[in-house]
Amino acid sequence: MKTIQDQAIGSWEAAQVMGTHFTQPSTMSRAGKLTAKVIKSPSGEREREFVVYSLEECNTDWDDYVAAIDRGERRRRRVHADARPDELRRLKRLQAQIAFDDAVGAAEAAEIMGCHWTWPPRMAVRGDIVGRILHNGREGKSGSRLWIFSRRSCLENIARAKADIAAGTKIGRPRRATRK
């Protein structure tokens, strides 16, 4: 499997890669040091937003931090620096690596495919589209399971469905038209 260099990662994952506290990526984003992509994810009746960061930018920030220490500039120690190697290995082993510019949430994936927002996670589990849960550092299943999906895989799924419809081999109810 090819590792995506600029993959989309969550705030906890970004903090682990940079060796900082999990609140620092949002602070750095507001200061203009990291690029953040806002993703809408419906959860029941209410919509909420979460942010993904670029793995490449987080690695660049780490390299700048190490270079500043090597130059002898006074820097505060990053207290979670020991977690960085484990997180990089975990991100490299992921089956579903999603590029930063290709990441969408469940709401947008559902809108692209013309289905209810609860279907994209099911489709990702089945392997119909590419998706993964952002790691949040908590043990077990938590209430904040944030999914990201590949926009490209959603569009490919639509193309496969249209080909099945044209061939007359699609099973199930017809899809409703996708919204724009």
pLDDT (0 to 100) of residue 5: 74
**Which of the residue ranges 56-65, 122-131, 141-150 would you say has the lowest mean pLDDT?**
141-150
Q: Is pLDDT at 145 greater than 90 in this prediction?
A: no
Residue 77: pLDDT band (50, 70, 90) is: confident
Confidence at residue 58, expressed as pLDDT on a 0 to 100 scale: 94
HEC readout, the chain = CCCCCCEEECHHHHHHHHCCCCCHHHHHHHCCCCCEEEEEEEECCEEEEEEEEEHHHHHHHHHHHHHHHHCCCCCCCCCCHHHHHHHHHHHHHCCCCCEHHHEECHHHHHHHHCCCCCHHHHHHHHCCCCEEECCCCCCCCCCCCCEEEEHHHHHHHHHHHHHHHHHCCCCCCCCCCCCC
The pLDDT value recorded for residue 47 is 67
